[in-house]
């Protein structure tokens, strides 16, 4: 018997019911999937929040630790200044010169701040040098000079052994701020790029400031004379001692060095 129109209708209705059931089932599954996705997203957000919180705590802890290192070494630096005939103002000025050079070299703000904080520690090793030697006037004998020059190695020993970037840079500076580009410095007679850039930078600032400063045995030189000695040399200082790239920069930025020195002089005379 041929199926009649009623059978066809029934079959079509059965198919529609089947389709409706399947659609319902698919909709139910889709909703369940979406609920799962939402739950996973919420968990991920919670996890990201926890992670962000943990990272923030870690960042805060690291910066507190870095600050604690800095405070501790600054105190050590102050103690070394008491022994030295250099003034506290000298180490502060060296920080400013170093930052000016770093900025002119295109260093990031973070790294400029790092050298600003590390530079004052360059002579921290003098804390271990006998007072009698530090205050001695005139030329030192070979043995005395050897002891005096050891302030670089002692400084490095005091500052090494931590993974603080600040102390690592301070260590590099302490051990290399008397090295010369042409290999005639101390303690290791390093040459050129063997000397870390932070050491080369501080060496230039330290020399400029020493030339400008009064000592028990000499008056401070004018800015012009200090520049002439650095750029053209005298009996002790040779242009070959300095990194030629830094010397080139110095030709342009030296007025800023003068501004720093003059500002400190003014503040000192006003008793600030
Ligand atoms: Fe030194
Ligand atoms: Fe110095």
Ligand found nearest the CA of 87: 2
Domains of the chain: 49-269 (1.10.3210.10)
Tens of pLDDT along the chain (272 residues) come to 667 888 888 988 999 999 999 999 999 999 999 999 999 999 989 999 999 999 999 889 888 888 888 888 788 888 777 777 567 889 999 999 999 999 999 999 999 999 999 999 999 999 899 988 888 877 889 999 999 999 999 999 999 988 889 999 999 999 999 999 999 999 999 999 999 999 999 999 999 999 999 876 778 999 999 999 999 999 889 999 999 999 999 999 999 999 999 999 888 777 66
Q: What is the pTM of this model?
A: 0.78
Residues at Cβ < 5 Å from ligand 2 ion: 206
Ligand found nearest the CA of 150: 1
Ligand 1 centre to CA of 176 (Å) is: 9
Ligand 1 centre to CA of 123 (Å) is: 5
Ligand 2 centre to CA of 90 (Å) is: 7
Which of 24, 43, 99, 126 does the annotation list as catalytic?
126
Ligand 1 centre to CA of 108 (Å) is: 26
- Return the HEC string of the chain: CCCCHHHHHHHHHHHHHHHHHHHHHHHHHHHHHHHHHHHHHHHHHHHHHHHHHHHHHHHHHHHHHHHHHHHHHHHHHHHHHHHCCCCHHHHHHHHHHHHHHHHHCCCCHHHHHHHHHHHHHHHHHHHHCCHHHHCCCCCCCHHHHHHHHCHHHHHHHHHCCCCCHHHHHHHHHHHHCCCCCCCCCCCCCCCHHHCCHHHHHHHHHHHHHHHHCCECCECCCCHHHHHHHHHHCCCCCCHHHCCHHHHHHHHHHHHHHHHHHHHHHHHHHCCC
Ligand found nearest the CA of 153: 1
Report yes or no: 187 and 178 within 8 Å, Cβ to Cβ: yes
Ligand 1 centre to CA of 177 (Å) is: 6
Ligand 2 centre to CA of 205 (Å) is: 9
Quick check: is 24 catalytic? Answer: no
Ligand found nearest the CA of 202: 2
Ligand 1 centre to CA of 164 (Å) is: 22
């Amino acid at each position: 018997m041929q199926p009649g129109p009623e059978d066809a209708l029934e079959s079509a209705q059965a198919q529609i019911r089947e389709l409706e059931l399947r659609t319902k089932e698919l909709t139910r599954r889709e909703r369940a999937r979406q609920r799962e996705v939402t739950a996973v997203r919420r968990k991920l957000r919670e996890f990201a929040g926890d992670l962000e919180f943990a990272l923030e705590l870690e960042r805060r802890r690291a910066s507190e630790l870095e600050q604690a290192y800095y405070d501790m070494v600054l105190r050590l630096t102050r103690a070394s200044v008491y022994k030295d005939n250099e003034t506290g103002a000298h180490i502060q000025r060296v920080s400013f010169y170093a930052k000016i050079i770093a900025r002119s070299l295109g260093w990031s703000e973070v790294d400029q701040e790092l050298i600003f904080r590390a530079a004052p520690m360059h002579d921290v090793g003098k804390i271990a040098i006998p007072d009698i030697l530090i205050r001695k006037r005139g030329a030192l004998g070979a043995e005395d000079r050897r002891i005096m020059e050891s302030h670089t190695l002692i400084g490095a020993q005091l500052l090494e052994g931590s993974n603080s970037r600040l102390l690592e840079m301070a260590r590099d500076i302490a051990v290399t701020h008397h090295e010369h580009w042409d290999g005639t410095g101390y303690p290791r007679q390093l040459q050129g790029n063997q000397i870390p850039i932070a050491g080369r930078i501080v060496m230039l600032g330290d020399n400029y400031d020493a030339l400008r400063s009064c000592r028990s045995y000499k008056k401070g030189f004018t800015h012009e004379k200090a520049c002439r000695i650095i750029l053209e040399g005298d009996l002790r200082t040779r242009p070959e001692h300095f990194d030629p790239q830094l010397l080139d920069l110095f030709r342009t930025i030296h007025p800023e060095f003068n501004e720093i020195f003059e500002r400190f002089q003014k503040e000192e005379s006003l008793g600030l």
